[in-house]
Amino acid sequence: MIKAIITTLADELKRLKRRFILRSFGSIAQDYEDILEGARLAGTDFDFEIETKITPYDFSPFLPLNPYLNKTGSFALSAEYDSIGEFLGAGYLPAAHPERVLECVAHATRMGVSRHVIRIDRIGHPTFSSAQAIHLLAFDRAIRFPDTKPDTVWKEWAAIHWPACAEKMIRLMQLSIEMTGKTHFIDGHVIFHAFPIDAGLKWIKACGILSVFTPDIDLGIHQGMWGILPKKTPSRSALLAEKESAVRIADECLQGLRGLQSLLSPDEYRTLETAWKNASAVTRLVRNWCRCICAYLDDLQALGPHHPNLDRAIFESRQDFERITGTSLPLSATAESKTQKTPGNEYGGYDHGCDNIEDAYAHPLWKMILSLPAEYAGERSERLRWNTLPSLIDAVVCGGIADDHRVQRYMHASHATLIDGRPARAAGNRVFPNGYIQCELRAPESSDCVFIVRGDPAKSRGLRITINGQTQNVEYTADGTYSCPLPADGRKTITVRIQKTGADYPSIYGLATASKAT
């Protein structure tokens, strides 16, 4: 199919005497492999260029360089770069990192790249007038003078823009990438894929970042999510210490910059002060958001009817949010959060408001924080539904926060929302029709048990279930339940995958094993 698409486009563009550039972008490794294999097959009849991102999937500074950036046959090869920081605040925050620019260009050159494609804008923020403008100099020097060293770029930039305080400004700005990396990431894992931030928990639940809040687990389960690195999760105290460090760096650098104001041009100072003021605010907003998630999980562990830790975290966060937004903020959400509605469409159509950190960060994060009590009530209720089953062996609340690390899926392919107050996760959507939910559940080695799935029958009556490699298409009962016996086979766990059978995507509340069905 990919070969057919490529040849159709290549043939038409050849007749029009236009150049054909194939952008080989994928969300998972299989995407890249399929696209590049289609290109190889089409290349026997047509000549075109292949453009590939310098990092696989997207522009995270914590990702390795793209292993799929390779010269293939007679195709010309181009590399695509990000100069402003798509996942580093998109120009709102300082994130100068010329070292990474030089590393990326050097790698691309070794791989046979003949054209360098550099993004110079994100959400209307041009790199030229941002705190990342040094990246454009770094790209120029790396492409034209491959032996250029990072110190050379920093000193050349400083001599032009900060001549009266070059060394101090270099030291200050070199801290910017550390600060922003500790703000937009947790231990190298991407927090916000939708940016400016969307207020719905749906997007946070889509990308695996909530798994990072469960300490000492192996994140290899999220191999279908490029923003999650395959390593062990930190403790919650280490996670919060990282956010405190970001606040400290932002405050110290803002104070240091203000001490150098008289030595900088008005335009230069204005650009950098805006970026560092933003950083001082945004680091606090993200720190508070992380504190609230930690408090949520602490409360949920006790499964009490109330959430005192979360209430306290929300109350203590409000002061920072009110100071930054300049408005009085409520301490509770409206009843509409019982069922989360998605404005626009599945992957767009949102109004993010004005171009400022209040609308990009503060307001959506506060709305997200205020949605946590309703989320808590739904997740607690769902857990209690399973816990009241006397024969329960193991259960996963698929759309909940606490079990995020137990639900394997493709990023953005299995969204989770509240449906009438119940957390549910869809197995696929119209953009990712091959989406799935996969979980590992405990089972007795030497005695039979029962597998149970609960879902919303209004979304889909049928679903495809694969248990330990055996697949069958089934239907819910009227109350949205399906169960089947599982003979003992000596294994301590079962692996279950849920997918759609027809046009509709099943929304799953939970999966479980039990010694008997009721």
Cα radius of gyration (the chain): 25
The answer on 156 and 172 residing in a single domain is no
Is residue 344 in some structural domain?
no
The answer on 419 and 487 residing in a single domain is yes
The answer on 503 and 398 residing in a single domain is yes
pLDDT of residue 29: 85
Q: Give the total number of structural domains in the chain.
A: 3
The answer on 304 and 203 residing in a single domain is yes
Q: Which H or E run includes 462? A: strand 462-467
Is residue 414 in some structural domain?
yes
Is residue 7 in some structural domain?
yes
Predicted TM-score (pTM) of this structure: 0.94
Mean pLDDT of each 10-residue bin along the chain, 518 residues long: 93 93 86 90 88 93 94 90 96 98 98 97 96 99 98 99 99 99 98 93 96 98 93 98 99 99 99 99 99 99 98 98 96 58 44 83 98 98 96 98 97 94 96 94 95 96 96 96 95 97 96 87
pLDDT of residue 342: 42
The answer on 168 and 144 residing in a single domain is no
Is residue 345 in some structural domain?
no
Last residue of a domain, one of 162, 196, 216: 162
pLDDT of residue 43: 85
Is residue 182 in some structural domain?
yes
Last residue of a domain, one of 133, 162, 191: 162
Q: Are 307 and 301 in contact (CB under 8 A)?
A: no
pLDDT of residue 439: 98
Is residue 239 in some structural domain?
yes
Q: Are 157 and 134 in contact (CB under 8 A)?
A: yes
Exposed (0-12), middle (13-18) or buried (19+): which is 481, by Cβ within 10 Å? middle
**Nearest residue to 250 via CA among 268, 272, 273, 276:** 276
C-alpha torsion angle, residues 136, 139, 143, 148 (rounded to 10):
110
The answer on 481 and 424 residing in a single domain is yes
pLDDT of residue 337: 44
The answer on 241 and 110 residing in a single domain is no
Q: Is the alpha carbon torsion for 401, 364, 230, 176 positive or negative?
A: negative
The answer on 262 and 116 residing in a single domain is no
**Nearest residue to 511 via CA among 470, 461, 467, 451:** 451
Cβ neighbors of 37 (< 8 A, separation 6 or more) are 2
Q: Which H or E run includes 238? A: helix 236-259
Q: Is the alpha carbon torsion for 38, 39, 44, 46 positive or negative?
A: positive
Residue 459 maps to which CATH number?
A: 2.60.120.260
Last residue of a domain, one of 162, 187, 219: 162
Host domain of residue 169: 164-331+358-377
The answer on 183 and 125 residing in a single domain is no
pLDDT of residue 74: 84
Is residue 385 in some structural domain?
no
pLDDT of residue 31: 86
pLDDT of residue 351: 55
Distance from C-alpha of 379 to C-alpha of 240, rounded to nearest angstrom:
24
Is residue 297 in some structural domain?
yes
- Using left for φ > 0, alpha for ψ between -120 and 50, and beta otherwise, residue 171 falls in alpha
The answer on 123 and 258 residing in a single domain is no
The answer on 141 and 183 residing in a single domain is no
First to last CA, the chain: 47
The answer on 141 and 194 residing in a single domain is no
pLDDT of residue 180: 98
Q: Are 68 and 90 in contact (CB under 8 A)?
A: no
**Nearest residue to 425 via CA among 495, 497, 482, 510:** 510
